[in-house]
Structures are given as structure tokens and as C-alpha cells.
């Protein structure tokens, strides 16, 4: 293989790797009014972005949420979350939503501290 072809293939490979690793990331952490902490990280890569939020309350309660969204004509998001109170009781759930130009739809499931689950469906027309 000649030197020009090797250099061209190397340049194409570097461009491909650079476009894959060019995700934008944001992280921050701050205190809350009553003494807890809130931290958030968001990573975006083109039309797909995901994030994580954690809130620790002053009394030891913890809330964690993870989400992934895809932007387009119809924006689609999935979010899962869990919370544990200072007494050890916990809830968890997940929600999926689609937001288009004419309507929004979402469905979610919440599981309570006793293991009971509730399903919710929501539609909103513009």
C-alpha cells in the first residue's frame, strides 16, 4: 500500500473515532436549601442524550433517576427512578413518553413499598 492511501485511511479512521467520541457531557452538583445535595450528569451525542440525577436529602433519603431521550419529529424518552426514605421504605418506577407536534402520550408504572404496582396512562392533545 502506498503512503498516500495509508494516510487517507488513517485520516478517515481518525474522523470516525472523533465523531463517535465527540459526545457533549455536563456534570454539576449543588447543595439544596435544607441541607441536602443534588447532582446531575447529562451526556448528549447527536439526537440521543441521557442523564442521571441523584438527590440526597438532609435526613438520609435518596432519590435516583436515569433517563434516555431521542430527539426527532416525535421526541421519545424513557426514565427509571427509585427513592428510599430515611426509614428504609422505597418506591421505584419507570415511564416512557412520546411528544409529537399534535399530542403527547406517556405510560408509567410505580411500585410502592409493599410491592403494589400502579399503571398510569396519559394522553394530551394540542
3-state secondary structure 55-79: EECCCCCEEEEEEEEECCCCEEEEE
In a 13 Å sphere around the CA of 69, the CA atoms on its Cβ side amount to: 16
pLDDT, position 73: 87
Q: Decide if 105 is inside a domain.
A: yes
The model scores a pTM over 0.85: no
pLDDT, position 69: 94
Structural domain containing residue 53: 23-125
Q: Decide if 10 is inside a domain.
A: no
**Residues whose CB is less than 8 angstroms from the CB of residue 56 and which lie 6 or more positions away in sequence, other chains included:** 36, 37, 38, 62
**Residues 47/72, Cβ–Cβ less than 8 Å:** yes
pLDDT, position 126: 66
What is the tally of structural domains in the chain? 1
Q: Decide if 15 is inside a domain.
A: no
**Residue of 21 and 98 predicted with greater confidence:** 98
Q: Decide if 17 is inside a domain.
A: no
Whether 17 shows a pLDDT value over 50: the answer reads no
pLDDT, position 23: 66
Q: Decide if 14 is inside a domain.
A: no
Whether 77 shows a pLDDT value over 90: the answer reads yes
pLDDT, position 22: 53
Q: Mean pLDDT across the stretch 97-121? A: 92
Q: Decide if 103 is inside a domain.
A: yes
β-pair partners for 49: 44, 69
pLDDT, position 46: 87
Amino acid at each position: 500500500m502506498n503512503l498516500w492511501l495509508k494516510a487517507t485511511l488513517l485520516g478517515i479512521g481518525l474522523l470516525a473515532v472523533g465523531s463517535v467520541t465527540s459526545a457533549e457531557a455536563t456534570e454539576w452538583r449543588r447543595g439544596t436549601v435544607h441541607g441536602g445535595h443534588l447532582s446531575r450528569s447529562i451526556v448528549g451525542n447527536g439526537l440521543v442524550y441521557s442523564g442521571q440525577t441523584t438527590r440526597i436529602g438532609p435526613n438520609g433519603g435518596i432519590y435516583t433517576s436515569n433517563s434516555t431521550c431521542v430527539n426527532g419529529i416525535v421526541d421519545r424518552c424513557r426514565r427509571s427512578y427509585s427513592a428510599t426514605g430515611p426509614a428504609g421504605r422505597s418506591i421505584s418506577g419507570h415511564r416512557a413518553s412520546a411528544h409529537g407536534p399534535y399530542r403527547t402520550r406517556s405510560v408509567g408504572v410505580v411500585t410502592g413499598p409493599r410491592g403494589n404496582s400502579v399503571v398510569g396512562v396519559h394522553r394530551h392533545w394540542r
